[in-house]
Structure 1
Amino acid sequence: MTDEILARLKKRVKNLPMQPGVYIMKDKSGNIIYIGKAKSLKNRVSSYFRSIDKHLPKVYQMVQHVDDFEYIVTDSEFEALVLECSLIKYHTPKYNILLKDDKGYTYIKITNEEYPRIESAKQRLDDGATYIGPYISGFVVKQTVDEANRVFALPSCSRKFPQEFGKGRPCLNFHMRRCMGLCQGKISKEEYAETLSQAMDFIKGGGNATLKILEKKMEEAAENLEFEKAAHYRDRIKAIQKINEQQKVVYAKAVNQDVHAFVQGSGDTCAVVLKFREERLVDKQDFFLGEVDSLPEARSEFLVRYYSGNSDIPPLIEIDDQYEDPELVEEYIAQQAGKKVTLHIPQRGEQHKLVQMAITNAAQQISHLTEQSGRDVAALAELAKLLGLKKPPRYIEAYDISNIGSDTVVAGMVVFEGGKPLKSAYKRFSIKTVNGIDDYGSMREVITRRMKRYEEEKESGVSFGRLPDLILLDGGKGHVSAVAPVLAQFGVEIPLFGMVKDDRHRTRAIALDGGEIAIGSQRGAFTLISTIQEEVHRFAISYSRQKHQKAGLELALTTVEGIGPTRAKALFQYFKTKKAMTEATVEQLCQVKGISRQKAQAVYEYLHPELFPQEEEEIAEDGE
């Protein structure tokens, strides 16, 4: 955006009213790129053209393309919301959240072969197969196909029939009674066709309708003394009843409701909607929203778009967290439904478990776009929510101070990227300017040195030249208060928190400057923080022990004839570890500057007392 365009837009903003309404942003070609609502048009629109560089990335990109704007004044904010929704649906602007899910149509396919199979298919091909559908939800199709194959014990393996009859043993599904064992060649075409027909009735009519048909057939078979046939019907009836019972046990509290969850990744956000009807999970929908600047704002936009013109709106909608303008959103959805609709954010109990299920599914979808696991995505999202971060922290640095006595004070820095340790980025610090044991002073020194290295290396964008999304200190609010001024001094804004341990040295809470945040109930975040805290403690204390052992051996080496502090230090600088020095030959010891062959031999003998036992002096005893 040029200064000329910005000046022109700012001038236009001055004439906007302080009333509610809708604003329409356009690019230089006149295309609509964003539509929004406002309580006060003047205040909202002017905010886009102030401090442009401080906007979040998506807003910044949108503003850079704005060449002009229009507006429509409304009588109320609710009318603005309704109008905004209608205009977005019609124009589908580039920078608004648009509901594009990840599915196309899906079919149930009955293959064209001598012994047909029931499968799910993405496309309808001209292959002679029978197709049922299309269905909008691939989730429903897969669930239905799996249930039909399981209840009626139809084969789902890759064997070809009848070509492979009697070739090889039956698979595990047969022994688990999940397959009729067609591969054995003992089932007639007529019997298989009847079973397939019953499976199709199950798919088309549902479990309850099929139960009535099978119960009638079981009674007829029993009356005709066809007990084996009656047993087959009985087993199918039990299988259907078991599936229904499993659904009711898991979703007994979810009668008619939708469950929404939103998870942010490093560059995209996924919204998942789980639809429950009559105590069953009947559909799962996934939507990718792109990079969003504010999750509460994204939730509101999504809810309004999702239920706009939707004829299937349940009386209860569960949501994973806070959303903007709750009263307006609830009023709008109730108007669309023509009845009272409750929007609820569960904190505990069965409904909270359903929300967690939706979060897990959303995290899994995000994981497909990255190298992270679904568990790591969910944990980072949960941590961001817990700490009030705008987005999940992909790059985390953690620090711990360790000492063995006042002479060996060190610090360790570990890095977690995408929820996993990045060991190549770990760093160790020897405390140089702090005398004695002073955790706060030591932590200040470490963070100061780290920030100075950033100033020196920031052009590289790697190692110390990269700023973290989050800094964690092994300690409480005192550590946070001690370090916060250092970050302010360097002019960087990095979220800073402490990791608090209980009396048993286990993670208890997150500390901030002025208080604590309990994390015990946040399972994913708790596990991640505990892992980070244990890792940074392990790394720091291992360095502390190494330094202590080195210092002790350096001091011990000075007892060797001809080896003073300077030569002892030179030996360690050359060999790095006691193990390497002990494994060195006399010739290799001679390679160290200032170590003659005679001194090398003396050091070698000192390091290998088992090869060169010292002669014991005779001690005279008192006697007569």
Structure 2
Amino acid sequence: MDEREEKRRELRAKAMQLPLTPGVYIMHDKSGEIIYIGKAKALKNRVSQYFGSERNHDAKVRKMVSNVDYFEYILTDSEFEALVLESSLIKQNQPKYNILLKDDKGYCYIKISGGDWPRLSAVLQKDDDEAKYIGPYLSFWSIRETVDAARKIFRLPDCNRKFPRDIGKDRPCLNFYIDQCCAPCRGKVSNDDYNEAFLQALDFVKGGSSTSVRELTRRMEQAAEELDFELAARLRDRINAINKLRDRQKVVESSVPEQDVFALAQGESQTAFEVFRFTGGKLTDRESFLTEGTEPDPEARSGFLRQYYAMRDRIPPVVTLDGECDEQELVARWLTDRGGKTVKINVPQKGSQKHLCDMCHNNAAEYLAQRSGLQGRDASALDELRRLLGLEKSPAYIECYDISNLQGGENVAGMVVFENGRPLKAAYRRFKIKTVEGQDDYGSMREVIGRRFGEYKTKQAEGDNTGFGRLPDLILLDGGRGHVNAVQPVLEEMGIEVPLYGLVKDDKHRTRAIAQSGGEISITSTRKAFTLLSTIQDEVHRFAIGYHRQQRKKSAISSTLLSIEGVGPQRAKSLLKHFKTVTAVGEAELSELERAPGMNKPSAKRVYDYFHGENS
């Protein structure tokens, strides 16, 4: 027994002596540093789980447990007291294996640069320069969005060019051609017109869209009365641009005046959280966080909420989540206690609130994708599939199998691989069925799975984790519950613990549901997961049937040449390799056949007579 295993057993023995009462447990490493703090309704049950089988833990927990040298605990009178104490201790000690969120909510400002061609920008701090600053503001996201909107509406530049130094020196950038910049660099915009637009943009960021529209409307009507139709038209266009912006913002308005909306998306080894903060029914702030490790969604939400509001002063009366939260009533009570007013945790199932959660989840998936090198739609589809199947982590590496034959003849199988939601064609594999005679899809699938994971065992023994040496996160079979029930015992016998599901088609050969040993899971309501699964099923069918047709063609070609006296398998293979096709063999002259590799004059004469004789 190695030292690490001996330590784990020692810790488990100590954990089994803990009381079955609420409390907080504190994990230390060899140096005495606190590396994890948790709470439990029953200390004995919770702490002993850490030192049991490693199969029940993700990579982050396994890493934490491997570094634990000893633990201590504090008993509490209730689970609620344990939650409050845990939150306080985490905030004080910042253990590296807890979810830790960096509180970067400092103040920010709107910067107005000096000179005859002033600029607007959102900044996090004041510089020692000649610029003027408006603020401070709390939400950098909302200020940045406001400044960006002002620059687009009033067609102000956001490039790094200096004016008047760079006027007339270069061509305008793309923003000019899409009507989002007046392009002073062209030298065709007067300084007076530029400053007029700049002052209107400043009024917009100071007073908001409603105040800005009222003032612009007044000035537009005045210009029209004075017959200055050119100015009136410019003002009209700016009013229309502001109104279009307001229409787009209505998409993310909330029917609940003050609330925070939370959503998460999990990848293979990381979890992304997105927060939408609403005040007065409008989105006033948003935040994105990325944490290491994955855990069941309800636990992840509970841990994140406690960490998030431990460093926030403002707690809204409504907290809306994209799914269930572990110890939801307890967390709501804790939020109520911290905020000094009743806080309700809401998990909507339909309607506008559900739409906000979906939008928040899409942004979480997009943030995860940006940090992991994926595309947003792939990350979102994989996370949707994870939720649908109840997987512990996002299935980054998926293998799918299909059997193809014609009335039991030329029995073959195809395996396709999708990595991070995209086909990994270098990992595709083809199988000739060797042990099954006739049309027996269940038997053929058992053989293929047995051969594939037999190769996995061999590779693992050699220390090779590439190709068949890599274990998939999810196995899919082109077939229903019968295929799953036929293959599952093979995996269990080999000790392979990978989720297994079948892909069920409707009478029009379209993906309809996912089959498991106990029944079917409908996928029609999960659009992104449905699209991904349909793509995988279509691809494995194309790959398997393509291999089957290739084998049938080879069989037909071989039978034609092998029917000629004196032509065996090796000579037939040489002829096809030299002439490429049977048609070319038949059209060849006798002298060409005689010169072909592996041929002699008698054999060449028999082949020539076969294709040119009276009965050819």
TM-score normalised to structure 2 length:
0.89
Distance in 2 separating the partners of 1:400 and 1:330: 49
Please name the residue that 1:466 is paired with.
470
* Cα pair distance change 1:581/1:103, threshold 3 Å: farther
Distance in 1 separating the partners of 2:544 and 2:534: 15
Code of the aligned partner of 2:273: A
Deviates more, 1:330-339 or 1:178-187: 178-187
Please name the residue that 2:494 is paired with.
490
Distance in 1 separating the partners of 2:4 and 2:395: 33
Please name the residue that 1:61 is paired with.
63
Q: Is the 1:587–1:597 Cα contact (8 Å) retained in structure 2?
A: no
Q: Is the 1:570–1:592 Cα contact (8 Å) retained in structure 2?
A: yes
Deviates more, 1:242-251 or 1:287-296: 242-251
Distance in 2 separating the partners of 1:177 and 1:520: 41
Please name the residue that 1:109 is paired with.
111
CA shift at 1:91, angstroms?
1.2
**Aligned partner of residue 521 in structure 2, secondary structure:** strand
Contiguous gaps of at least 5 residues in structure 2: none
Q: Is the 2:578–2:596 Cα contact (8 Å) retained in structure 1?
A: no
Q: Is the 1:109–1:132 Cα contact (8 Å) retained in structure 2?
A: yes
Q: Is the 1:112–1:128 Cα contact (8 Å) retained in structure 2?
A: yes
CA shift at 1:236, angstroms?
3.0
- Tell me the alpha carbon deviations over residues 46-101 of structure 1, each in whole angstroms, 9 at most, x when there is no partner: 22233356533222222222222222222211121111111111111111101127
**Aligned partner of residue 515 in structure 2, secondary structure:** strand
Identify which of 546, 556, 559 aligns with 1:542: 546
1:90 equivalenced with 2:92 (yes/no): yes
Deviates more, 1:470-479 or 1:453-462: 453-462
Matched residue count: 610
Please name the residue that 1:313 is paired with.
315
**Aligned partner of residue 323 in structure 1, secondary structure:** coil
CA shift at 1:165, angstroms?
5.0
1:532 equivalenced with 2:556 (yes/no): no
Distance in 2 separating the partners of 1:589 and 1:364: 66
* Cα pair distance change 1:134/1:374, threshold 3 Å: farther
Output aligned runs, 1:288-307, within 5 Å.
288-307=290-309
Code of the aligned partner of 1:454: Y
Distance in 2 separating the partners of 1:571 and 1:323: 69
**Aligned partner of residue 24 in structure 2, secondary structure:** strand
Please name the residue that 2:506 is paired with.
502
Deviates more, 1:374-383 or 1:307-316: 307-316
Q: Is the 1:148–1:202 Cα contact (8 Å) retained in structure 2?
A: yes
Code of the aligned partner of 2:521: I
* Cα pair distance change 1:66/1:181, threshold 3 Å: closer
Distance in 2 separating the partners of 1:221 and 1:422: 63
Please name the residue that 1:620 is paired with.
none
Q: Is the 2:479–2:504 Cα contact (8 Å) retained in structure 1?
A: yes
Q: Is the 1:102–1:288 Cα contact (8 Å) retained in structure 2?
A: no
Q: Is the 2:254–2:278 Cα contact (8 Å) retained in structure 1?
A: no
TM-score normalised to structure 1 length:
0.88
**Aligned partner of residue 116 in structure 1, secondary structure:** coil
Q: Is the 1:500–1:509 Cα contact (8 Å) retained in structure 2?
A: yes
Identify which of 242, 262, 276 aligns with 1:274: 276
**Aligned partner of residue 369 in structure 1, secondary structure:** helix
CA shift at 1:240, angstroms?
2.4
Please name the residue that 1:551 is paired with.
555
Code of the aligned partner of 2:74: I
Q: Give the alignment's Cα RMSD to 1 decimal.
A: 3.3
Distance in 2 separating the partners of 1:84 and 1:213: 53
* Cα pair distance change 1:8/1:393, threshold 3 Å: closer
Q: Is the 2:260–2:319 Cα contact (8 Å) retained in structure 1?
A: yes
Q: Is the 1:310–1:336 Cα contact (8 Å) retained in structure 2?
A: no
Deviates more, 1:150-159 or 1:467-476: 150-159
- Tell me the alpha carbon deviations over residues 88-126 of structure 1, each in whole angstroms, 9 at most, x when there is no partner: 111111111011278887653333443122234466555
Distance in 2 separating the partners of 1:167 and 1:394: 50
* Cα pair distance change 1:580/1:521, threshold 3 Å: farther
Identify which of 16, 19, 37 aligns with 1:17: 19
Please name the residue that 1:388 is paired with.
390
**Aligned partner of residue 404 in structure 2, secondary structure:** strand
Please name the residue that 1:287 is paired with.
289
* Cα pair distance change 1:604/1:424, threshold 3 Å: farther
Distance in 2 separating the partners of 1:588 and 1:356: 69
**Percent identity between the two aligned chains:** 52
**Aligned partner of residue 70 in structure 1, secondary structure:** strand
Distance in 2 separating the partners of 1:511 and 1:445: 20
- Tell me the alpha carbon deviations over residues 509-530 of structure 1, each in whole angstroms, 9 at most, x when there is no partner: 0101120011111111111111
* Cα pair distance change 1:165/1:463, threshold 3 Å: closer
Please name the residue that 2:479 is paired with.
475
Please name the residue that 2:432 is paired with.
430
CA shift at 1:340, angstroms?
3.2
1:155 equivalenced with 2:157 (yes/no): yes
CA shift at 1:293, angstroms?
3.0
Distance in 1 separating the partners of 2:147 and 2:584: 67
Distance in 1 separating the partners of 2:341 and 2:16: 41
Please name the residue that 1:416 is paired with.
418
Output aligned runs, 1:154-553, within 5 Å.
154-157=156-159, 160-163=162-165, 177-180=179-182, 182-183=184-185, 185=187, 187-218=189-220, 221=223, 226=228, 228-251=230-253, 253=255, 255-308=257-310, 310-458=312-460, 459-553=463-557
* Cα pair distance change 1:172/1:366, threshold 3 Å: closer
CA shift at 1:566, angstroms?
6.2
CA shift at 1:379, angstroms?
1.0
* Cα pair distance change 1:272/1:553, threshold 3 Å: same
**Aligned partner of residue 347 in structure 1, secondary structure:** coil
Distance in 1 separating the partners of 2:593 and 2:28: 75
Distance in 2 separating the partners of 1:454 and 1:400: 19
Distance in 1 separating the partners of 2:594 and 2:317: 81
**Aligned partner of residue 341 in structure 2, secondary structure:** coil
**Aligned partner of residue 368 in structure 1, secondary structure:** helix
Distance in 2 separating the partners of 1:589 and 1:346: 80
CA shift at 1:446, angstroms?
0.8
Distance in 2 separating the partners of 1:322 and 1:582: 69
Distance in 2 separating the partners of 1:188 and 1:196: 12
CA shift at 1:546, angstroms?
0.8
Distance in 1 separating the partners of 2:379 and 2:103: 20
**Aligned partner of residue 372 in structure 2, secondary structure:** coil
Please name the residue that 2:564 is paired with.
560
Distance in 2 separating the partners of 1:259 and 1:138: 18
Q: Is the 1:261–1:319 Cα contact (8 Å) retained in structure 2?
A: yes
* Cα pair distance change 1:589/1:11, threshold 3 Å: farther
CA shift at 1:324, angstroms?
1.1
Deviates more, 1:260-269 or 1:443-452: 260-269
- Tell me the alpha carbon deviations over residues 30-59 of structure 1, each in whole angstroms, 9 at most, x when there is no partner: 221111111112222222233356533222
Deviates more, 1:54-63 or 1:558-567: 558-567
Distance in 1 separating the partners of 2:376 and 2:547: 33
Distance in 1 separating the partners of 2:78 and 2:587: 84
Contiguous gaps of at least 5 residues in structure 1: 618-624
